[in-house]
Every structure is written in structure tokens, then in C-alpha cells.
A = this chain, B = another copy of it.
Amino acid sequence: MRFKAGKSGVDQMTSEAGAPHPANRDIFVSHSFPEQQVDLGEITLNYVEAGDASKPALLLVPEQTGSWWSYEPSIALLAENFHVFAVDLRGQGRSDWTPRRYSLDNFGNDLVRFIALVIKRPTIVAGNSSGGVLAAWLSAYAMPGQIRGALCEDAPFFASELTPAYGHPIRQAAGPAFALMRDYLGDQWSVGNWEGFAAATKASRSPIARLFFATDEAPQNLKEYDPEWGRAFFEGTVALHCPHDRMLAQIKKPILLTHHAHHIDPETGDLVGALSDFQAQKVQEIVRSTGVRFDYRSFPEALHMMHLFDPPLYTQVLREWAATLPDA
């Protein structure tokens, strides 16, 4: 069961004709690592495990609109050096969907529980995009002893907030694409109008919306994704209780921020990328003011998901940085 609301007897998720609700449709494909599930209390979380338990523990957290398997090519390279765990967050892949309960704190506490129940030792965490924000969240807010360091791969600090302390807000960045998901795909794919979505992204004034989504058929990763995630980002509720400036000021373990291709669109002033140079500078200032080690690496040619599109470079960056981390 990927979507458990039906269990409750209240949110019976079936369509009007009695067919399975879109959230329960079987759209999954198989992968080269065996998938496992763990009961975290609220959700059942889907994950894969690779490499040997004698190696350092590594937790990989996918980008929004992704599932664990965006790391599939990287895992093959990392398994030699790490005991690798890659997860689907709530609302991603085969993990449960949780309508009305998508927040950074809930995503983050799922990972706290995953480390407590499955990994059970100090962990290096690496996340991409929203997953990179969650890596920082763990550095700030995990239980004592759980985290060794956090790689934040092109993480949209500030730029994924509705009212950030610094720089571009989400509505001048990736937000418009999420608004189109809300309107054309709907919470739990309840609308499901892919054709309308493709046309609207193509016609959007937002450069990010135009760049990423005008394909003829929904790609596998989006099929596995609950569009309510996107709505929570567009509406700003996802980070309402976790302002990034405060979270960054509470970082406790070393951070590596990688910063990939980005520019300011001259027409709209929008940020096309995960975060601006100004925002990356502010991240650095805040984290360094805590006394915690902060590393920054710029990859101006890299795509947002380096781990998917350039696994050799991504795994090299991760491996080199991880080798410098203290044990716990």
C-alpha cells in the first residue's frame, strides 16, 4: 500500500466511479537495488541499502519530484566506500503519501526516525535540492550523535521560502512550476491533466517552468510524486515553522554546499537555479558565525541534479569531502 489514508476510514481515496484513486495507481518500475520498507510510526518509508556495514554510513535524500533511484547510478559508485542508504521521503516514490502533512519538520523527523531505527549510527547525509535543505535540517535538528556532516547539493536555501530573510523568494524561482502542478496535477494527482500541464509550462512566463516540464508524457519520477509537495512549497507552508535563517544559525555539524548552474533571467528578474550568489554568501556567513565548519564549491556548469547527470563528479566531490569529516 503506497497510500494509507484509506486505513483511517475517513479519507477513502477512491475515484467517483469506484476505480482506484490516482494515488493508488500502480505506476512503479523495477530497479537494480532491492527495495525495503520500514514502519516509522506515521509512514512506511521505502529505501534501498548497498555497500558494507564496515564502511561509513551514508544517507542519500532525493530532490523534490524525485525518488531514491535518481541516485541509482551514483549508488553503484559509492557502495565501494560507504554503507549507502537511499530513501523515498513521504510523498515520493513508494513511501506513503501524507495529505496536509508536508513540512520540512515532518520530512526531517522521518529521517531522524530512519537513522534511529535502521542506520543506528553516526551518518553522513547528502541531499539534493529540497533534500539538501533537509540535510542541513538534520545537521541542525537531528538527535545527538546521529549526524557527522551534511552535503547540501545545490540546495535552495532561502529561494525555496515564501518570505526568505535574503534574496529571491520561491515565487521568483521554482514556485510558478509548482503552482502549475497544483492546478493541473492536483494534490495526490487528483486532477491529472498532463496535457494541460505541458501546455501551461510551455506558455509560462517563468523560465524554470518552461525549462523543466514541457514533455509529452509525465516522466516516471513525476508519476511517483505527490504534487501536494509542490503546493506546500508554492504556498510557503512547507517551511513556515522552519525559517532557513534560523535553521542555518542552529547548524551543528559540518556543511558542504555545492552550487550549480544559475543565472538571473533578464526579462523577469527571476532566479533560474537553486539559489543566487547572494543567498549562497548569506548561508556561508550564518553557518560560519556558529563556529561550525562550512565548505562551498562552485560548479557553474553542473546541472541541478549532478548526482543524476554526472555521477563520477558527484561521487568524487562527496568522497573527498567525507574523508575529511571527524568520526562523530
**Is the Cβ of A140 less than 8 Å from the Cβ of B11?**
no
B237 touches A240 (CB 8 A): yes
Copies of chain A in the complex: 2
Q: Does the CB pair B42–A140 fall under 8 Å?
A: yes
Among B5, B7, B40, B146, the residue within 8 A (CB) of A143 is: B40
Query: Contacts A41-B141, A241-B102, A243-B100: A289 and B9 contacting too (C-beta < 8 A)?
Result: yes
Q: Encode contact with B along A228-255: 1 for CB under 8 Å, 0 otherwise.
A: 0000000001001111011001100000
Q: B100 touching A241 by the CB < 8 A rule?
A: yes
**Complex CA–CA separation, A240 to B144 (angstroms):** 28
Within 8 Å by CB of A9, from B7, B109, B249, lies B249
Query: Size range of the interface on A?
Result: 35 or more
Partner of A39, one of B9, B101, B144: B144
Bound-state CA distance A141–B113 (Å) is 12
- Given A289-B9, A290-B9, is A100 in contact with B140 using a C-beta cutoff of 8 Å? no
B246 touching A101, Cβ below 8 Å: yes
Contact with B along A125-166 (1 / 0, CB 8 A): 000000000000000111110100000000000000000000
- Cβ-defined contact, B142 with A41, below 8 A: yes
Query: A76 an interface residue at 8 Å Cβ cutoff?
Result: no
Q: Is A65 in the interface zone, CB < 8 Å from B?
A: no
Residues on B with C-beta less than 8 A from A106 are 105, 241
* Interchain CA distance A5-B106 in the complex, whole Å: 22
Inter-subunit contact A10/B249 (CB<8 Å)? yes
Contact A237 B246 (CB under 8 A): no
Complex CA gap A116/B113 in Å reads 10
- Determine if A286 is an interface residue (Cβ-Cβ < 8 Å): yes
Interface assignment of A103: CB less than 8 Å from any CB of chain B:
yes
